[in-house]
């Protein structure tokens, strides 16, 4: 009998393809429900692994899963996409399958709601105000002070997040965000944005599973005014005191939210006064962080997530104590890629364990100021954190892209 594990849409890079591969490795039959199969061409999915469904229609999703259940056993329903974790959890609940409580997901995904809740339980968050108009955003920024951070209330991958130094920058960014009716996936955007205090301090994320803290990731952020993540080091090199501070606040966050099932990716900044929570993402980390955990500690968080999704208890056992670093190759110009050099040189470096180039000569790229600017990555792993970091950075410098500038129209297609 076929044992199905259903994915409601997916990341188009990072963990997306890895989830499909891991499911097959466990003898499960993965199937991706999507309204746009062409979005996943680069993932190399087999025809029988994709089913075209309107993934914004819960009843259509239910009928598709009901049909699959007649052709085999429906073992689990999930999503590796931030935008569809809620839909997957609702659907899993309707079929009596394991998932994080939808109330927890909704509290995390709405950034205003999360800030309000954490503030009510004495967890420090940036000062914030929600705005539903340009004038309200300007008033909020004046109250909070400059520089101020503007972002959508629902989003991922640093999309739409911008540091604004003055009122004119606030007006421009608020206008752009509030006029945007749909996101890069074609989903409706809430007519609300969040204005926040800029927190000064190093940025980290904490990877958790249920009520277990897996580890802390150090983040590298691109050039302001944007917040695109350009690299990660895992586990983060921290003093024992700083690590304890972070772990204490994260445990409080998980307990307060009643977050007791599956993975979470909690983002924070460490200030002189202690950690400040920025976001709680009700899903596994993106950006290949799960692969860093696997290279560094031998713990497969993708497999652990799948095991939980099908109703079993994963063993969160770390097999080694190494370090892993990723550096993303970022689009630095808009236009057609005409040449890519240095890949073999980078691959020959010691401790480099993975190099992927997401684009090829002839592809046209844009610069968005978010995750879509990533056009490749290098990963290095070693028992020494210094060697892992230095080798990843050296490999990153080896690879060069040459561009032929061209006129590009804006697009919502997710890259």
Catalytic residue IDs: 283
Token representation of residue 6: 């259903």
Are 178 and 134 within 8 A, CB to CB? Answer: yes
Sheet containing 148-152, strands listed edge to edge, beginning at the edge strand earlier in sequence:
128-131, 193-197, 148-152, 162-164
Q: How far apart are CA 161 and CA 216, in angstroms?
A: 23
Q: How far is CA 329 from CA 82, 231, 320, 379, in A?
A: 23, 9, 28, 11
Give the number of residues written for the chain.
415
Alpha helices in 26-157 (DSSP H): 58-70, 85-94, 102-109, 111-120, 134-144
Q: Which residues have C-beta within 8 Å of that of residue 254, sequence separation ≥ 6?
A: 208, 211, 260, 264
Q: Cα(138)–Cα(409) distance, rounded to whole angstroms?
A: 29
Q: DSSP string covering 317-373, please? A: ------EEEEEEEE--S-EEEEEEE-HHHHHTSTTEEEEEES--TT-EE---SSGGG
Longest Cα–Cα distance in the chain: 62
The alpha carbon of residue 68 and the mean position of all alpha carbons in its chain are separated, in whole angstroms, by 29
4: β partners:
29, 74
Q: Are 317 and 299 in contact (CB under 8 A)?
A: yes
Is 283 in contact with 205 (CB distance < 8 Å)? no
Which helix or strand (DSSP H or E) is residue 213 part of? strand 212-221
CB atoms within 10 A of CB 350: 9
């Amino acid at each position: 009998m076929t044992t199905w594990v259903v994915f409601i849409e997916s990341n188009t890079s990072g963990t997306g393809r890895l989830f499909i591969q891991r499911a097959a490795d466990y003898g499960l039959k993965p199937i991706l429900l999507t309204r746009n199969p062409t979005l996943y061409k680069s993932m190399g999915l087999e025809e029988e692994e994709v089913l075209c469904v309107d993934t914004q229609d819960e009843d259509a999703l239910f009928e598709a899963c009901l049909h699959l259940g007649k052709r085999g056993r429906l073992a689990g329903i999930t999503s590796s996409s931030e935008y569809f974790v809620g839909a997957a959890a609702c659907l899993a609940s309707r079929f009596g399958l394991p998932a994080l409580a939808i109330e927890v997901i909704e509290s995390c995904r709405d950034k205003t709601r999360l800030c309000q809740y954490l503030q009510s339980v004495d967890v420090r968050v940036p000062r914030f105000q929600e705005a539903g108009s340009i004038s309200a955003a300007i008033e909020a920024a004046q109250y909070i002070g400059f520089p101020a951070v503007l972002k959508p209330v629902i989003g991922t991958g640093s999309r739409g997040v911008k540091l604004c130094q003055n009122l004119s920058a606030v007006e421009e960014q608020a206008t752009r965000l509030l006029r945007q009716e749909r996101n890069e996936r074609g989903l409706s955007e809430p007519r609300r944005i969040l204005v926040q205090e800029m927190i000064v301090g190093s940025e980290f994320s904490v990877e958790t599973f249920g009520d277990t803290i897996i580890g802390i990731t150090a983040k590298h952020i691109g050039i302001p005014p944007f917040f695109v993540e350009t690299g990660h080091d895992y586990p983060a090199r921290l003093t024992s005191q700083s690590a304890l501070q972070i772990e204490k606040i994260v445990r409080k966050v998980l307990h307060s939210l009643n977050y007791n099932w599956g993975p979470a990716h909690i983002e924070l900044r460490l200030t002189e006064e202690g950690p400040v929570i920025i976001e709680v993402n009700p899903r596994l980390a993106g950006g290949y962080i799960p692969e860093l955990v696997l290279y560094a500690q031998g713990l497969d968080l993708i497999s652990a997530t799948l095991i939980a999704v099908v109703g079993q208890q994963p063993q969160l056992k770390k097999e080694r104590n190494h370090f892993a670093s990723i550096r993303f190759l970022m689009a630095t110009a808009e236009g057609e890629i005409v040449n890519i050099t240095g890949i073999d040189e980078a691959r020959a470096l010691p401790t480099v364990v993975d190099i992927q180039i997401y684009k090829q000569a002839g592809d046209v790229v844009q610069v968005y100021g978010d995750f879509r600017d990533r056009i490749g990555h290098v990963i290095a792993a070693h028992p020494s954190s210094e060697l892992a970091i230095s080798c990843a950075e050296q490999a990153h410098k080896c690879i060069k892209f040459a561009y032929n500038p061209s006129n590009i129209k804006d697009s919502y297609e997710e890259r």
